[in-house]
Structure 1
Amino acid sequence: MSSDSEIKFNYSLAPLSYFYGLGVRIRNKLFDAGILPSERFPVPVICVGNLAAGGTGKTPHTEYIIRLLQRRYRIAVLSRGYKRKTTGYILATPHNTSSDIGDEPYQILQKFPDITLAVDADRRRGIRNLLELPEDKRPDVILLDDGFQHRYVKPSFAIILTDYHRRFNFDKLLPMGFLREPIEAIRRTDMVIVTKCEKDLKPIEYRIMEEDMHLLAHQQVFFTRVVYSDLKPVFPKVASPRVLRDIRRNDEVLAISAIANPAPFEEEIKRYSKKVHCANFPDHHDFTKKDFKDLTEVFNTMVSSEKLIVVTEKDAARIQNNPHFPEEWKGVIYTLPISIVFHGKRENFDEILIKHIETIRRKGFTE
């Protein structure tokens, strides 16, 4: 298991982390004292966030919650729409692109076209606009994507995700580490999910992780890991479906990723092919004409009789509407979908969320 001795820190940035932490603590105290206002809303608002910058798996966990709830309730997802090229409040439609609403919201909208999805950096305004929709479209439940630090909204239920390989209790504040807030901010959450766990963890390892986090009695802890599905064509009208295990050892694969941690994605592909060419870009990278030119040159050097391109779901959302996307790739480019599974107690997680929603709908939001 990871510990503070195994995580790399840039100790030369410790003074900057100190002043950053001082500013965050002052801001949090202003909210705690009511000097800065936190607004509550008359519907369940479930926040899925984290303490750390970088990928902890918010999107697949949000998708799990959507699948759990969408048959019971009208669901709305509200996101900031990180890296979008628009501003203000946008209620998404099928005509929006990832440039309009951001790659992760676009990915969710593609998978769940029947839910309501909106983006707004001002989460209060976003929720107010959602609650002003006509009655037959007004959400019963709002999922707040990555809004834990947006304290102007008081969620009715807060879920914090933490990466098994870099758990919050072993991390340090930005810029020395990855934490957006001091560790004590974990007290504001109702639930912690340790994500990206190894498949073969022993029961004692779960108990040690729980003890190390020093959570409050009411705070629930769950553990999940990522699982990969079969390949899915980015352009299903052009490309044929592919089963991941049908990739042969000598087939060449160009694996393109612009995510926080591409290693698991690349390792999964390397389980099937021994000829994987990896092209990594910064998280949320906006692919340029030159990027596609360079990648095409790599692809054209691949000499196997069977070759294909595999990208992450998030990157597929970003590149499929890119004006520089090579037309000749459409028949050979696939995504590698991911989802999450719980290490035990999945039913408990489901019951907790549904019970919370029913309580809020029946009694309203109280402290």
Structure 2
Amino acid sequence: MNPRDIDDVLSGRRQDLAARGLRLATTLAEPVYWSGLQLHRSRYRLGFKKTHRVSRPVISIGNLTTGGTGKTPFTALLVKQLQNLGRTPGIASRGYKSLENDTEPATGNDEKLVLDQMCPGVPHIQNRNRVAAAEQLIEQGCDCILLDDGFQHRRLQRDLDIVLIDAVNPFGHNHLLPRGLLREPLSALKRASLIVLTRVDQVDRPALDAITRTIRRHTQVPIIEVRFAPTSWLSTTGAITPLESHPGPAAMFCGIGNPTGFTATLKQCGITIPEGATKIFPDHHHYTREDFEGLSTLATQKANGQLVTTLKDLVKIRELVSVEIDCRAMLIEAMVTRGEDDLHRLLNHVPQP
């Protein structure tokens, strides 16, 4: 089941018998997930599991929900902001689903490859042991650590907890996994140091105000607003071209946590996606030659060989692209539209080593 189908089921938009059955099953499973979450918390609270502090400040970038909230472009923004302050950041991540297809060995997951492209030269260690990853970064000369997807991670202590909330679907259908998309209840926001509302350009101000009121029931920390602005196109050969250079209608594919947000961005940029020319894969999908053959056929039949995707997908599929297909990724940059002073103030107070 692709992300759109899952969202249709969980949101209640699908009312067929199968969808109702799935909602019932996930409703029965939700208390089981909650019990496991409570058990995990209690192990740290009672001291059965220990947290570890490293010798450099740690900034966690995470979220409350599964799926894409824009952590990767926002992490790139933080890297640049910290560098502008004279800091030397490094990135520690778990390395979920490292990249491996039928043409190359595992080389790090898609987020790492994207961040390598967006933040050249910035150390990035992937290790399920995030404490060990942080220690390695410190050995490489980093004076602060960005902990990717770290809000639910307890073992590595942090100095700041930044939580991203997608304005398009902020609270995961108001249910914990698997009935909804919430990893934790909204009350967990009390641990946050900063809330970042993302994709604010895709909803109206009354909706943003309603989201803010909900957040304010749980925390009074600063809330900033971010949009993801498309800047240019990147081809499989590495060529960067202006955003307006795209020749016309294109087939679209992606394997990301929030395909709806990407589709909306394409439409905002005037990219026409012909009917039936969209292919959605699961998040972190590993592409095969068979996958690309299907995409190639789709692009040839529907869009004169034009194919558009995300940078996260392009870095995984570029070795498979044939010369007959013009495959480009839309490059996107996180931009703070409200609350930039709050972000600067927070980063200026990150402890010096």
TM-score range, shorter chain: 0.7 to 0.9
Q: Which amino acid aligns with 1:42?
A: S
Which ranges in structure 1 are unaligned for 5 or more consecutive residues?
Answer: 1-5, 87-96, 363-367
CA distance in 2, matches of 1:13, 1:301: 39
Residues 76-155 of structure 1 aligned to structure 2 (within 5 Å): 76-84=90-98, 99-131=106-138, 133=139, 137-155=140-158
CA distance in 1, matches of 2:273, 2:167: 29
Q: Which amino acid aligns with 2:94?
A: R
Q: Which amino acid aligns with 2:161?
A: A
Q: 2:321 aligns with which of 308, 322, 326?
A: 326
The answer for the alignment partner of 1:290 in structure 2 is 290
Could you tell me how far 1:207 is from its partner in structure 2?
A: 4.5
Could you tell me how far 1:191 is from its partner in structure 2?
A: 1.4
Structure 2 CA distance for partners of 1:47 and 1:266, relative to 1, 3 Å: same
CA distance in 1, matches of 2:308, 2:230: 13
Asked whether 1:159 is paired with 2:158, we answer no
Which ranges in structure 2 are unaligned for 5 or more consecutive residues?
Answer: 1-8, 13-22
Query: TM-score w.r.t. structure 1 length?
Result: 0.81
CA distance in 2, matches of 1:208, 1:256: 32
The answer for the alignment partner of 1:352 in structure 2 is 346
Asked whether 1:171 is paired with 2:168, we answer no
CA distance in 2, matches of 1:145, 1:172: 24
8 Å contact 1:98–1:317 — kept in the other structure? Answer: no
Provide the aligned C-alpha RMSD in A. Answer: 2.5
Could you tell me how far 1:293 is from its partner in structure 2?
A: 1.4
CA distance in 2, matches of 1:52, 1:177: 9
CA distance in 2, matches of 1:85, 1:200: 33
Q: Which amino acid aligns with 2:167?
A: Y
Could you tell me how far 1:302 is from its partner in structure 2?
A: 4.2
CA distance in 2, matches of 1:303, 1:166: 31
CA distance in 1, matches of 2:99, 2:321: 22
Residues 199-348 of structure 1 aligned to structure 2 (within 5 Å): 201-202=204-205, 206-213=208-215, 214-217=217-220, 219-236=221-238, 241-247=240-246, 251-270=248-267, 271-276=269-274, 277-302=277-302, 304=304, 307-321=305-319, 325-329=320-324, 332-348=326-342
Could you tell me how far 1:99 is from its partner in structure 2?
A: 2.9
CA distance in 2, matches of 1:353, 1:192: 14
Q: How high is the sequence identity, in percent, across the aligned residues? A: 25
Asked whether 1:17 is paired with 2:30, we answer yes
Report the count of equivalent residues.
327
Structure 2 CA distance for partners of 1:299 and 1:127, relative to 1, 3 Å: same
CA shift digits 1:209-248 (9 cap, x unpaired): 332121334x221122222112122313xx5x43333445
Could you tell me how far 1:107 is from its partner in structure 2?
A: 0.9
Structure 2 CA distance for partners of 1:265 and 1:112, relative to 1, 3 Å: same
Structure 2 CA distance for partners of 1:272 and 1:284, relative to 1, 3 Å: same
CA distance in 2, matches of 1:187, 1:296: 47
Could you tell me how far 1:56 is from its partner in structure 2?
A: 0.8
CA distance in 1, matches of 2:324, 2:165: 36
The answer for the alignment partner of 1:91 in structure 2 is none
Could you tell me how far 1:106 is from its partner in structure 2?
A: 1.1
Q: Identify the structure with the greater helix proportion.
A: 2
Which structure 1 residue ranges, 4+ long, deviate > 6 Å from structure 2?
A: none
Structure 2 CA distance for partners of 1:15 and 1:273, relative to 1, 3 Å: closer
Query: TM-score w.r.t. structure 2 length?
Result: 0.84
Structure 2 CA distance for partners of 1:130 and 1:268, relative to 1, 3 Å: closer
CA distance in 1, matches of 2:281, 2:212: 34
CA distance in 1, matches of 2:308, 2:162: 31
